[in-house]
Amino acid sequence: MANYNYQLTRFITSAPDIRHLPEDTGIEVAFAGRSNAGKSSALNTLTNQKNLARTSKTPGRTQLINLFETAEGKRLVDLPGYGYAQVPEEMKRKWQRALGEYLEKRLCLKGLVVLMDIRHPLKDLDQQMIEWAVDSNIPVLVLLTKADKLASGARKAQLNMVREAVIAFNGDVQVEVFSSLKKQGVDKLRQKLDIWFSDIPPEEAVAEE
């Protein structure tokens, strides 16, 4: 399994919907989460780049599908944040449509990272996201972000609670704690991405035998 150098990740394009994305080839791993879950911070921490994904004091600024290339044919995808109240209804619907289309129709999607604030995990939209992925046979890594906001006992209790809760989804769902501030959980994220990016399609594996 290859170890990818995520520091080499570079921005490729922003797209309002899947019709404006590059060709549906290679492997993509998407990052999804509520608008205030710390998605941009997680991407910046992963890649060790301060401004790769724009962080904003106003959640809900990621209104486009943003693509980043880690290695040839290996892309990270920053999906529009969901569930932020202070956004006009029409705009919200537009994002939800773009999000849904990407998740349902993008064939090169091989893994989904769902980010949730450790203090408020498993909101309805988070659960819908995991349900959708499990139904589509896409593995999920749940990152409980802002883990530094809780003392270690409370952090552990939340982690165990969410791990217990996701068993009900009957899918490939792993849960880890994450803190951009303390760089906690970054190694687990990189390991998971390495596995997903090293995914060999079954046909190729058979051909090699």
Give tens-digit pLDDT for 155-181.
999 999 999 999 999 999 999 999 999
How large a percentage of the chain has pLDDT more than 70? Answer: 89
Please check the confidence at residue 139 and state whether its pLDDT lies above 80: yes
- Other beta carbons less than 10 A from residue 106's beta carbon: 16
Contact 147, 179 (CB under 8 A): yes
Please check the confidence at residue 204 and state whether its pLDDT lies above 50: no
- What order of strands is seen across the sheet that includes strand 74-78? 10-15, 65-71, 74-78, 27-33, 109-117, 140-145, 173-177
pTM of the model: 0.90
| Burial degree of 200 (CB within 10 A; 0-12, 13-18, 19+) | exposed
Q: Please tell me which residue, 209 or 36, carries the higher pLDDT value.
A: 36
Which pLDDT tens digit goes with each residue over 10-30? 999 998 889 999 999 999 999
Q: How far apart are CA 94 and CA 99, in angstroms?
A: 9
- Mean pLDDT, all residues of the chain: 89
Q: What domains sit in the chain, N to C, each tagged with a CATH number?
A: 6-198 (3.40.50.300)
Query: What pLDDT shows up at residue 55?
Result: 61
